[in-house]
Amino acid sequence: MKLNCHLTTSLIDMYSRCGNLEKELEVFHSVERRDVFVWSSTIAGLAMHGRGRAAIDLFFRMHEAKVKPNAVTFTNVLCACSHSGLVEDGRMFFNQMEPVYGVVPGVKHYACKVDILGRAGLLEEAVEFIEKMPITPSASV
């Protein structure tokens, strides 16, 4: 069956939510055309299962494929960093969002950065980050 990007994204999301990363990646690798949503959902699946390094590697492959990341992509990459303790990577991605990729950080991105710092035990830095945020912190922050 020939899969379009919408169906591919749905299958990837379904398999990752069911915990079947092997099938998720099989679907991802089986399609020729991958839009930002296919890439982002695969990154999200890896992130939610603690495969942060694999999610980051996939992000760089996405960049090599000349697919422009969007706000959802960055939420997923930052979550991958958070769930895998990749503090320096998380800092780098957050700091590159707007100047390198043209994606303005939103409240979800700020919440992810706080989560990265908090999970790493960097509570003072997290509080300082919250106090300097240019947007009003939400309950998730």
CB 86 within 8 A of CB 52: yes
pLDDT at 97 over 80: yes
DSSP assignment letter at 139: S
- CA angle 17–84–99, rounded 5-degree value: 100
Q: Which two tokens stand for residue 31?
A: 């399609």
H helix runs in 49-86, sequence order: 52-64, 71-84
Domains and CATH numbers, the chain: 5-131 (1.25.40.10)
For the residues 118-126, what does the mean pLDDT come to? Answer: 96
pLDDT confidence of 32, banded at 50, 70, 90? confident
Give residue 126's pLDDT. Answer: 96
Q: What is the pTM of this model?
A: 0.92
Question: Distance (Å, rounded) from C-alpha 35 to C-alpha 66?
Answer: 10
Check pLDDT > 80 for residue 65.
Answer: yes
40, 39, 43, 49: which is closest to 17 by C-alpha? Answer: 49
Residue 1 has pLDDT above 80, yes or no: no
Residue 77 has pLDDT above 90, yes or no: yes
